[in-house]
C-alpha cells in the first residue's frame, strides 16, 4: 500500500482506491476527479487511513463540526449585515469551503504562521482570531483586529501569527516565502502555511515563490484552494494545464490533491504534509479541491456557472451536511449535540455583532495615521 509520499507524486504508483474516511470505520469511497469524472487513481495518487488519524476521537470530530459551523453561521450573518449596510466595502464569503481551513488548521501549531487571501474569515476564525475582533474589523471599528483599517479583506493578528488577509491575487505567496526564510535564518521551528486560490497560479509571483521555496528548502506549506473559478473565469479557460499539482512538481516540490469537501481528508493530508515540512525537507504543495457555494463577492450575477451546478455541489458535497451525516451514521452525533453546538455558535456570533455595534469609529483627525510618516524628512 502506498503511503503519503515525501517526494514528488509522479514517482509513485498507487493502488486503485482513494479513501475519504479515516478511522471512522465506514466503507472506503472511490473518489472521482470533479473535473474529468475519472477515478482519482487515474492520477496515481492516494490518501489512505494512517497513523495521523489516531486522534479522531468523538470530541475532536465534534470540534471539527463546531468549527465549520462557526464559519458558516458567522458568514451567513455577514451577508445579512452587508445587505443592511453595516458591513461595507468588499465581502468574499468562504461558505462551502469550510472544511479546508478547519481541517488544515488542526495540523498547525502556535509556532506556525498563516498567510491567506481576501476570502479569509474562515481561516482567521479557525486560527483563533476572535469573532468579535473580526466582526469589528468588518464594521471598520477601532476594536477590529486591524484597527478597522483593513476590513474584510485585510484581517491581521500578530498574536496568532495570522499575517493576513491580502487583496492582491498571489500577493501572499512571496510574503509566505519571506516569513519562512526569516524563520529558517533565525532558527525558529515554524512552518508557514500559505492559502491561496487557484487563480494565483496564473501569476508570476506563484512561480517565483515555488522556485525560491524549493531552491532554499524553506518551510512553506502551499495550500491551494482550487474552487474551480477565479471570479468569473473557470480554471480550464485560463490554464493549459489544469492539474495544479503538476505545476508544483515541475519545481521538484512534492504535491498532493486533497478532497477539500472532506474535513478529515483535509486534516490528515495537512498533518502529513506539515510533518514533512517540519522535518526540514523543504516546501510542500497541497491542492484542496473545493467549491464556493456563494458568489465570488457580494456583487456577482454568477453568469459563468449554472444554478444546477451550484445546487448539485450543495446537495451532494456540502462539507457540513456530509460530515454531520457521517457522524450520525457512526452514532457520534445526536440532535441534542447539534442543538448545543448551534446555540453556542449563535451566541458567539450575536456577541460579535454586539461588540462591533458598540465599537468606536476612528476620529477623522487620525485618518492619515499609519499612512504617512509621522516625521518629515529633515
Ligand X SMILES: Cc1ncc(C[n+]2csc(CCOP(=O)(O)OP(=O)(O)O)c2C)c(N)n1
Residues forming contacts to Mg ion in the complex (CB under 5 A) are 197-198, 227, 230
Q: How far apart are CA 58 and CA 296, in angstroms?
A: 34
Check if the beta carbon of residue 98 is closer than 8 Å to that of residue 293: no
> Minimum Å distance from CB 233 to ligand X?
7
> Minimum Å distance from CB 273 to ligand X?
20
DSSP element (H, E) containing 273? helix 263-276
Q: How far apart are CA 172 and CA 165, in angstroms?
A: 8
Radius of gyration of the chain (CA): 20
Q: How far apart are CA 90 and CA 372, in angstroms?
A: 24
Identify which of residues 93 and 145 has a Cβ nearer to Mg ion in the complex: 93
Residue corresponding to grid cell 492559502: 195
> Minimum Å distance from CB 229 to Mg ion?
5
Identify which of residues 19 and 206 has a Cβ nearer to ligand X in the complex: 206
Whose CB is nearest to Mg ion? 197
Whose CB is nearest to ligand X? 197
Check if the beta carbon of residue 361 is closer than 8 Å to that of residue 141: yes
DSSP element (H, E) containing 190? none
Among ligand X, Mg ion, none, partner that 39 touches (CB below 5 to 8 angstroms by kind): none
> Minimum Å distance from CB 199 to Mg ion?
5
Among Mg ion, ligand X, none, partner that 168 touches (CB below 5 to 8 angstroms by kind): ligand X
Identify which of residues 104 and 227 has a Cβ nearer to Mg ion in the complex: 227
Identify which of residues 183 and 318 has a Cβ nearer to ligand X in the complex: 318
Identify which of residues 167 and 332 has a Cβ nearer to ligand X in the complex: 167
Among ligand X, Mg ion, none, partner that 150 touches (CB below 5 to 8 angstroms by kind): none
Identify which of residues 157 and 198 has a Cβ nearer to ligand X in the complex: 198
> Minimum Å distance from CB 26 to ligand X?
30
> Minimum Å distance from CB 265 to ligand X?
19
Phi, psi values for residue 192, rounded to 5°: -105, 120
Phi, psi values for residue 157, rounded to 5°: -155, 100
| Residues that bind ligand X in the complex, under the rule CB under 6 A | 119, 167-169, 197-200, 225, 227, 229-231, 296
> Minimum Å distance from CB 218 to ligand X?
22
Among Mg ion, ligand X, none, partner that 53 touches (CB below 5 to 8 angstroms by kind): none
Q: How many CA atoms lie within 13 A of 223 on its CB side?
A: 35
> 85-99 burial string, b = 16+ CB within 10 Å, else e?
ebbeeebbbbbbbbb
| Cell numbers at 103, concatenated | 481541517
Give the CA angle between residues 145, 160, 294 to the nearest 5°. 65
Identify which of residues 167 and 310 has a Cβ nearer to ligand X in the complex: 167
Amino acid at each position: 500500500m502506498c503511503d503519503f509520499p515525501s517526494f514528488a507524486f509522479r514517482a509513485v504508483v498507487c493502488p486503485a482506491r482513494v479513501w475519504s474516511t479515516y478511522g471512522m470505520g465506514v466503507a472506503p469511497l472511490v473518489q472521482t476527479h470533479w473535473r474529468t469524472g475519472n477515478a482519482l487513481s487515474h492520477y496515481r495518487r492516494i490518501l489512505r487511513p494512517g497513523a495521523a488519524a489516531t486522534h479522531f476521537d468523538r470530541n475532536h470530530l465534534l470540534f471539527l463540526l463546531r468549527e465549520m459551523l462557526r464559519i458558516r453561521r458567522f458568514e451567513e450573518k455577514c451577508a445579512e449585515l452587508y445587505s443592511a449596510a453595516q458591513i461595507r466595502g468588499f465581502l468574499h464569503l468562504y461558505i462551502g469551503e469550510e472544511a479546508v481551513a478547519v481541517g488544515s488548521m488542526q495540523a498547525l501549531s502556535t509556532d506556525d504562521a498563516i498567510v491567506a487571501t481576501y476570502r479569509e474569515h474562515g481561516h482567521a476564525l479557525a486560527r483563533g482570531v476572535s469573532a468579535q475582533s473580526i466582526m469589528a474589523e468588518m464594521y471598520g471599528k477601532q476594536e477590529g483586529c486591524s484597527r478597522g483599517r483593513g476590513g474584510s479583506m485585510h484581517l491581521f493578528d500578530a498574536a496568532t501569527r495570522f499575517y493576513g488577509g491580502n487583496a492582491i491575487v498571489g500577493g501572499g505567496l512571496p510574503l509566505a516565502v519571506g516569513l519562512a526564510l526569516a524563520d529558517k535564518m533565525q532558527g525558529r521551528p515554524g512552518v508557514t502555511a500559505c492559502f491561496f486560490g487557484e487563480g494565483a497560479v496564473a501569476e508570476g509571483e506563484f512561480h517565483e515563490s515555488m522556485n525560491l521555496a524549493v531552491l532554499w528548502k524553506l518551510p512553506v506549506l502551499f495550500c491551494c484552494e482550487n474552487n474551480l473559478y477565479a471570479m468569473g473565469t473557470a480554471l480550464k479557460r485560463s490554464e493549459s494545464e489544469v492539474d495544479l499539482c503538476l505545476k508544483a512538481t515541475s519545481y521538484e516540490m512534492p504535491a498532493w490533491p486533497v478532497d477539500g469537501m472532506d474535513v478529515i481528508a483535509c486534516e490528515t493530508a495537512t498533518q502529513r504534509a506539515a510533518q514533512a515540512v517540519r522535518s526540514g525537507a523543504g516546501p510542500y504543495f497541497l491542492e484542496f479541491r473545493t467549491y464556493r457555494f456563494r458568489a465570488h463577492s457580494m456583487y456577482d450575477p454568477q453568469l459563468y456557472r449554472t444554478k444546477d451546478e451550484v445546487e448539485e455541489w450543495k446537495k451532494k458535497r456540502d462539507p457540513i451536511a456530509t460530515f454531520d451525516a457521517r457522524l450520525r451514521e457512526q452514532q457520534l452525533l445526536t440532535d441534542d449535540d447539534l442543538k448545543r453546538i448551534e446555540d453556542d455558535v449563535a451566541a458567539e456570533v450575536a456577541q460579535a455583532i454586539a461588540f462591533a455595534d458598540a465599537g468606536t469609529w476612528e476620529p477623522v483627525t487620525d485618518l492619515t495615521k499609519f499612512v504617512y510618516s509621522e516625521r518629515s524628512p529633515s
